[in-house]
Amino acid sequence: MRFLVTSTPKFQIPPQLVPTMITAMEEWVKRHTADKKLEQTWGFARGGGGGILNVASHEELSEILTQIPFMPFSDMHVEPLVPIEVGLNNLRQGAARMSQPAQVA
């Protein structure tokens, strides 16, 4: 299961915590890149960032997200990802169902 995770700053981090938070985030990225759970990461020019997590379950996703050091200070957004072919096929099938005459019971 792949998820796009984005995070933007919500609350100011106390300045004395910033160095510790940066180090903790670097360690989080290294750990989850090494275990192949984190496929990509990037930062946003205005603060925050994102990545793609590949996990086995929603429970594993929750566990990994709650370990993000900046989580308490951020707005987090999580979107499930599907291959474009699957999404377009689902859209095609949904559109076909909507164009069929209604069945009277």
Does residue 58 sit within a domain?
yes
Statement: the pTM of the whole predicted model exceeds 0.85: no
Does residue 48 sit within a domain?
yes
Does residue 21 sit within a domain?
yes
Give the pLDDT confidence score for residue 51 in this predicted structure: 97
Looking up residue 38, the CATH number of its domain turns out to be 3.30.70.1060
Q: Could you give the number of structural domains in the chain? A: 1
Q: What is the pLDDT of residues 2-45, one digit of tens each?
A: 999 999 999 999 999 999 999 999 999 999 999 999 999 999 99
Q: How far apart, in whole angstroms, are the C-alpha atoms of residue 37 and residue 43? A: 18
Does residue 30 sit within a domain?
yes
Does residue 71 sit within a domain?
yes
Give the pLDDT confidence score for residue 98 in this predicted structure: 87
Does residue 104 sit within a domain?
no
Q: What is the pLDDT of residues 43-81, one digit of tens each?
A: 999 999 999 999 999 999 999 999 999 999 999 999 999
The whole domain housing 19 covers 2-99
Return the HEC string of the chain. Answer: CEEEEEEEECCCCCHHHHHHHHHHHHHHHHHHHHCCCEEEEEECCCCCEEEEEECCCHHHHHHHHHCCCCHHHEEEEEEEECCHHHHHHHHHHHHHHHHCCCCCC
